[in-house]
Amino acid sequence: MASGEEVSNKQVVLRDYVSGYLKESDMCMATATITLKVPEGNSKAVLVKNLYLSCDPYIRGHTKSIQGGYADEYFKPGSPIVGYGVAKVLDSGHPDFKKDDLVWGFTGWEEYSLITATESLFKIHHTDVPLSYYTGLLSMPGMTAYTGFYEVCAPKKGEYVFVSSAFGAVGQLVGQLAKLLGCYVVGSAGSKEKVDLLKTKFGFDEAFNYKEEKDYDACLKRYFPEGIDIYFDSVGGKMLDAALLNMRLHGRIAACGMISQYEFDQPEGVHNLFNIITKRVRVEGFMVYDYYHLYPKFLDTMIPYIKEGKIVYEEDITEGLESLPSALVRLFSGKNAGKAVVVVARE
């Protein structure tokens, strides 16, 4: 297609704010038209063709309208879902991006997007790793793991580290970084297959299937008889409550997400907070956006790790824009088998 051409643009639209479990029927396909050119008077925008789109748990948070949800500046009912992706620049009004550049960052769940919020758009320089990695390992989830672990958890060699949602894009990497530092690492996940892979492929010392554990406190005591120094928490709720009972003196909890709570309009109560006083625990919420200035340093660490095989990575790739709703819903079923990526176009 030629720059400036008006083309049809298939989109995945969320019908309205969602309460309770997210269902595929909360989303629908729509077709709009788009002119493949940055509009006059919007000179800093970038027009892209989306190649790989990413399904991430945080998107569920954007679909809630209740107080305490993520800022919903990214989500408006009736518009295409906003999410991370890898894209190719077709036209640019921004000096940092030019035609044919490959980029990753916030884009839309559609074939073509006009990106105006270019502050979270990154040009891809290293193309000797799979491009799809820039939806996960080398983009927001990877940076979340890296900065959450190193900047928030302040880890030390030999510490006891617990990672929930360990098979997710973030958890996989947190566990591997912790092992590379010399920590003892236990992960929780939602199936036997994931638990096995955590131990055999990702090098976790131990892993358990939380769905088979009735008493999380007893479970954590079994895996951490000496207690937990660092809890990298992506689930919140009952597992957080149990972890609080098992923290060691001066332990740290990085609050990364609360995936167990997203389906509830009123989140479950956490009862064991008194332990943060007796054990002098620091609980710190963080969002990766505050750390994007560290992205070059992150790449300097990660690219060699990937090339040397010190970091491995599992993707769950499906084909076609139409598969996004089912891929997103599958995230919350525990059935995805790695970082969920949808291929919209190969180039």
> What are the residues binding its own copies (CB under 8 A)?
61, 67-71, 236, 240, 245, 255-258, 261, 266-287, 290
Residue (286 or 292) nearer to its own copies, CB: 286
Residue (69 or 203) nearer to its own copies, CB: 69
Question: How wide is the angle at C-alpha 201 spanned by C-alphas 127 and 261, nearest 5°?
Answer: 90
Burial class (CB in 10 A: 0-12, 13-18, 19+), 333: exposed
Residue (28 or 66) nearer to its own copies, CB: 66
Q: How far is the CB of 51 from its own copies (least distance, A)?
A: 29
* Beta pairing class for 46-54 and 112-115: antiparallel
Residue 36 near residue 1 (C-beta atoms within 8 A): yes
- Of 220, 175, 182, 234, nearest in space to 200 by CA: 175
Residue (73 or 300) nearer to its own copies, CB: 73
Distances (CA, A) of 131 to 239, 271, 282, 293, 296: 34, 43, 37, 21, 17
Q: How far is the CB of 272 from its own copies (least distance, A)?
A: 6
Q: How far is the CB of 138 from its own copies (least distance, A)?
A: 23
CB-based contacts of 324-327 (< 8 A; 24+ apart in sequence): 324/12, 324/27, 324/53, 324/55, 324/81, 324/109, 325/12, 325/24, 325/26, 325/27, 326/24, 327/55
Q: How far is the CB of 186 from its own copies (least distance, A)?
A: 21
Ramachandran sector of residue 111 (left: φ over 0; alpha: ψ -120 to 50; beta: rest)? alpha
Residue (36 or 331) nearer to its own copies, CB: 331
Q: How far is the CB of 73 from its own copies (least distance, A)?
A: 12
Q: How far is the CB of 3 from its own copies (least distance, A)?
A: 39
Residue (10 or 279) nearer to its own copies, CB: 279
Residue 106 backbone dihedrals phi, psi, to 5 degrees: -70, 120
